Amino acid sequence: MAEVRISALRKSFGATSILRGVDLAVPSGALFAILGASGSGKTTLLRLLSGFERVDSGTIEIDGRKVSGPGFQLPPEKRQVGYVTQEGSLFPHLSVAANVVFGLPRRERRDRFRAEAILESVGLPASYASRGPHELSGGEQQRVALARALAPQPKLVLLDEPFSALDASLRIETRQAVAAILQAAGATALLVTHDQSEALSMGREVAVLRDGVLAQVAPPEDLYRQPADAALAQFVGEAALLPGVIAAGFATCALGRLELARAAPDGPADVMVRPEQIQFESRARAGATQAKVLAVTYYGRDASIAVALDAGGEPLEARVAGHMAPEQGARVWLSVEGPVMAYPRPAPLLRVENLARAPAGRPRTLPKRAFVPTVRERLI
Mean pLDDT across the stretch 355-365? 49
242, β-bridge pairs: 271
Q: Where are the domains of the chain?
A: 4-225, 238-344
Residue 93: other Cβ atoms inside 10 A: 9
Question: Torsions phi, psi of 119, nearest 5?
Answer: -60, -45
Cβ-based neighbours of 86, under 8 Å, separated by 6 or more: 160, 161, 162, 164, 165
280, β-bridge pairs: 334
372 pLDDT above the threshold of 80 = no
Between 187 and 244, the more confident residue is 244
Most confident of the ranges 165-169, 271-275, 312-316: 271-275
User: Edge-to-edge strands of the sheet including 289-298?
Assistant: 278-281, 331-336, 289-298, 302-309, 316-321
DSSP assignment, residue 51? T
Which helix (H) or strand (E) covers residue 36, if one does? Answer: none
pLDDT tens digits along 201-233: 999 999 999 999 999 999 999 999 999 999 999
Integer Cα distance of 270 and 273 in angstroms? 10
Distance of CA 192 to the CA centre of its chain: 9
Cβ-based neighbours of 51, under 8 Å, separated by 6 or more: 67, 68, 73, 74, 75, 76, 79, 81
Q: Provide the pLDDT for residue 231.
A: 94
6 pLDDT above the threshold of 70 = yes
347 falls in which pLDDT band (50, 70, 90)?
A: low
269 pLDDT above the threshold of 90 = yes
- Tell which CATH classification among 1.10.357.10, 2.60.40.10, 3.40.50.300, 3.40.640.10 matches the domain 4-225: 3.40.50.300
Looking at 56-60, 127-131, 137-141, 275-279, which range is the least confident one?
137-141
Distance of CA 149 to CAs 2, 33, 88, 116, 128, Å? Answer: 15, 18, 10, 15, 17
DSSP assignment, residue 340? B
SS3 readout for 280-299: EECCCCCCCEEEEEEEEEEC
SS3 readout for 157-222: EEEECCCCCCCHHHHHHHHHHHHHHHHHHCCEEEEEECCHHHHHHHCCEEEEEECCEEEEEECHHH
Q: Provide the pLDDT for residue 359.
A: 53
Integer Cα distance of 229 and 216 in angstroms? 9
104 falls in which pLDDT band (50, 70, 90)?
A: confident
- Tell which CATH classification among 3.30.420.130, 2.40.50.140, 1.10.533.10, 1.10.3720.10 matches the domain 238-344: 2.40.50.140
Helices (H) and strands (E) in the chain, counts: 10, 21
Q: Provide the pLDDT for residue 57.
A: 95
Q: Provide the pLDDT for residue 120.
A: 85
- DSSP for 63-77, written as a single string: TTEEEEETTEE--GG
Look over the chain and give the mean of its residue pLDDT values, rounded to a whole number.
87
Confidence (pTM): 0.82
Residues in the chain: 380
